[in-house]
Amino acid sequence: MKIGIVGAGISGLATARAILSRKPDAELIIFESSQRVGGKVWTEISPEGYICEGGVNGFLNKVPSTLELCTQLGVKPMPADESSNKRYIFSRGELHALPEKPSQFLTSRLLSMRGRLRVVYELAAAGNDQQDETLADFANRRLGREAAERMIDPMASGVFAGDPTKLSLKSCFPRIHEVEQEYGSLIRGLLSLQMQARRKGDKETPGPGPGGILTSFAAGMSRMTDTLAGQLGSRIQTGMAVHNIDRSGERYMLQLEDGSEEEFSHVVLAAPAHAQAHILDRFDPTLSALLEGIPYPPLSVVCLGYEKQRTGQILDGFGFLVPSREKRAVLGTIIDSNVFPGRAPEGSILLRSMIGGARSPENAQMPEDQLINLIRSDLKDILDLDADPDFVRVFRHEKAIPQYVVGHSARLEAKNQYLRNHPGLVLTGNAFKGVSLNDCVVNATHTAISLLPKA
């Protein structure tokens, strides 16, 4: 068995590690088109000592597969500071702390009294017989317009940099969809799940959020992918793009950018969907077109460092998100130096702002000076932050986060149907079933099991 893996992001690296865990003598090669590994896991440490995340900033420590991988790699996870549980929404000209408890929700000014009562009415809100609906339609139907605009809309930006009027509820947030289907109400379902957890003696009872503690590493998220790459060693070929795939009998040939070919019994495509589409274009045009139809809006991440003595206390907690109705350029800002210790030099703070996404893709592609000025203008209005930054780093993602728009589940079913014609070919990555690092690690394990079911 000889396995070719295309893509050395977290999906490709974790898949290779999972295969070798099941079959240590497996022959495999990982091809990566860029000169670095990690994909959207991208940490840079500046000479001044700022630890900047250009992509993934952490994972929730609730998934055993990820924690087991950390143990296998010998890397020690670092939980976020408890104060980072405090998060804000910028609405109607001011920052509002997101309620952490029901009692706080009743007194929060994020929603008007009418808006809060409408959320409580969710217990009696109408169901839905649509096979697939947008996140916005779901939120309006169950929680009301105010909650949809001021709470759910910014959540779509925070997770997907997406447009809630296009994102699919059941594909983006399947557990929420399942709770409504099972209990007929989110509130009723949450209460029931909490009661079940208490009966079982579970320490962590289900809440409205995804659960778990945000976790990273002392040197940033690339600690995981760099360690994976180090253990995989010469199996990884960076700067080597795969242009096409072909098949002869039960063998697959990967055509590489240097004109050479490599033959494999099994191939795993773990690159972004648009890259997979390019590779499959001649081999299976219909499958390629399905993958090409998954949108990837551009996104820029801008890190700004400041000396504390010139800024004072900026904001406690994690950071803030901005609803689209506020007409701001910034989707959200994380105070990284509040979340994890050591992210900024002593006496300094580090902010990381996201701009662009499905909401305003043109903003992500602005010239750097214009982009920075636009973000600084928003930070001045929202945080009263007018000081010049001592440090700036801009990360560009021409194609950032895959968008699970309405129809995504049908697209996946069609993909799986076409793949039946190509035994030994596996498509994985965050374009299909979950965009988080945890999802990628879980899917890597599933891929290894599918390739080595009896190992």
pLDDT tens-digit map of 67-120: 999 999 999 999 999 988 899 999 999 999 998 777 788 888 999 999 999 999
State the average pLDDT for the chain. Answer: 94
- Tell me if domain 2-41+224-295+403-451 and domain 297-397 are identical in fold: no
Q: Which CATH fold topology does 2-41+224-295+403-451 show?
A: FAD/NAD(P)-binding domain (3.50.50)
Q: What is the value of pTM for the model shown?
A: 0.94
pLDDT at res. 209: 62
| Nearest alpha-carbon partner for 429 in 297, 228, 294, 241 | 294
Q: What is the pLDDT of residues 338-356, one digit of tens each?
A: 999 999 999 999 999 999 9
pLDDT value at position 36?
A: 96
Confidence of residue 203 (pLDDT cuts 50, 70, 90): low
Q: What's the pLDDT at 31?
A: 98
Of the candidates 326, 392, 400, 402, the one whose C-alpha atom is nearest the C-alpha of residue 365 is 400
End-to-end CA distance of the chain: 12
| Residue-level pLDDT at 102 | 73
Domain 111-200 has CATH 1.10.3110.10: yes
Cα(454)–Cα(379) distance, rounded to whole angstroms? 55
pLDDT value at 455 more than 60? no
Q: What is the pLDDT of residue 99?
A: 86
Domains in the chain: boundaries: 2-41+224-295+403-451, 111-200, 297-397
In this structure, what is the dihedral angle of CA atoms 157, 163, 169, 174, given to the nearest 10 degrees? Answer: -40
Fold that domain 297-397 belongs to in CATH: Polyamine Oxidase; Chain A, domain 2 (3.90.660)
d(CA 408, CA 415): 10
pLDDT digits (tens, 9 = 90+) for 378-427: 999 999 999 999 999 999 999 999 999 999 999 999 999 999 999 999 99
